[in-house]
Amino acid sequence: MSSKEELLKRLSDGVVDMEEDDVAEAAKEYLDAGYPAFDGIMEGLVDGMNRASELYEAEEYFVTDVLLCSDAMYAGLDILRPYLPETSNEEKVTGVIGVVEGDTHDIGKNLVKIMLETAGFWMIDLGRDVPLDKFVETVQEENADFICLSTLMTTTMGGMETVIKLLDEAGLRKKVKVMIGGGPISQKYADRIGADGYSQNAVEAVKLAKRLLNIA
């Protein structure tokens, strides 16, 4: 029988290598061995997707490669996710996530959403190219606890600052945490526009959300 570490590596490598069938087989073996589904997702599938994202940023992978990697990740998710501990919606912290207006790149946003849902957050996905006032409207309608704003384009970064200003004007800023991320984003930029935090990848996004919302 393979060790937990060997199966996690196989899950991660399978995502990077775009091997859907092998990822599915590894996920089944992982569960049959009695290992926790959460670790399989976080330390296996998501680790692989983060590696694929780094290859994309280094221009070693193309968008089509990343999409095939995400297909492999979903093949494993479909098997592992049903074995996560149940959490009722009433107990979940609510987040709103989307790519700001003018940008249609959503691979990173989708990965962060999956990670946050896996960690037990209730996520409302507004998609990509989201009108800035839509974030504020959704926070108000859903009584959300936090927002995740994403962009891969320098030309749309300013939309993040606008959302924060709109939240302030609506009297919502003090009750909602704002997290930002994406290729051109940095902690320095987050500090400048008054965001509550910045994460450089999906794993860090979960840690940041838990820290900002005081969740163990």
Report the pLDDT value the prediction gives residue 87, as an integer from 0 to 100: 59
Q: Which long-range contacts (CB under 8 A, 24 or more apart) does 50-56 make?
A: 50/111, 50/201, 50/202, 50/203, 51/12, 51/15, 51/16, 52/15, 52/16, 53/107, 53/108, 53/111, 53/201, 55/16, 56/107
Q: What does pTM read for this prediction?
A: 0.76
* Total residues belonging to the chain: 216
End-to-end CA distance of the chain: 33
Q: Rounded to whole angstroms, what are the CA distances from 42 to 62, 75, 133, 170, 175?
A: 23, 14, 32, 36, 29
Q: How far apart are CA 16 and CA 9, in angstroms?
A: 11
Report the pLDDT value the prediction gives residue 31, as an integer from 0 to 100: 96
Tens digit of pLDDT for each residue in 110-130?
Answer: 888 888 887 889 999 999 999
Q: For the chain, which residues score pLDDT lower than 70?
A: 86-91, 216
Q: How far apart are CA 31 and CA 36, in angstroms?
A: 7
Report the pLDDT value the prediction gives residue 110, as an integer from 0 to 100: 85
Say if CB 15 and CB 66 are below 8 A apart: no
